[in-house]
Amino acid sequence: GAGVSQSPSNKVTEKGKDVELRCDPISGHTALYWYRQSLGQGLEFLIYFQGNSAPDKSGLPSDRFSAERTGGSVSTLTIQRTQQEDSAVYLCASSGGELAGDTQYFGPGTRLTVL
């Protein structure tokens, strides 16, 4: 597609439930990033995927958070047993297109609300 897409755009869930957030990167981009943006805060790095290499998971805040990237394209961020402090906007970015160098291009985000 023309840009990074994310789904759903909004997700409301109850505390303790699991959620899955999806990211479709720009076609041809080999690198994919997940960030979290809490109200009034800067973007917080969560995880980085590059091709078939082992991901950099150093930003995941707890073992309730996990992510996978299938076939080097679509990625899913899973949050298990959600807590109210998980409420935030989750942003996905991709980079590495032929002309784009290392610039990260962001999707519109998924707003997660945990009640």
Establish whether the linkage from the previous residue to 8 is cis, with ω within 30° of 0.
Answer: yes
Answer yes or no: are the C-beta atoms of 32 and 45 closer than 8 Å: no
Cα 69 to Cα 39: distance, rounded to the nearest angstrom: 27
Binding mask 52-91 for another protein (x = CB under 8 A): ----x----------------------------------x
| Position among 86, 95, 112, 114 found at the interface with another protein (CB under 8 A) | 95
**Pairing relationship of beta strands 5-7 and 43-50 according to DSSP bridges:** unpaired
Answer yes or no: are the C-beta atoms of 103 and 95 closer than 8 Å: yes
Q: Of the ranges 14-22, 34-42, 68-76, 79-87, which one interacts with another protein (CB under 8 A)?
A: 34-42
The minimum distance between CB 106 and another protein, in angstroms, equals: 4
Question: Which CB sits closer to another protein, 20 or 44?
Answer: 44
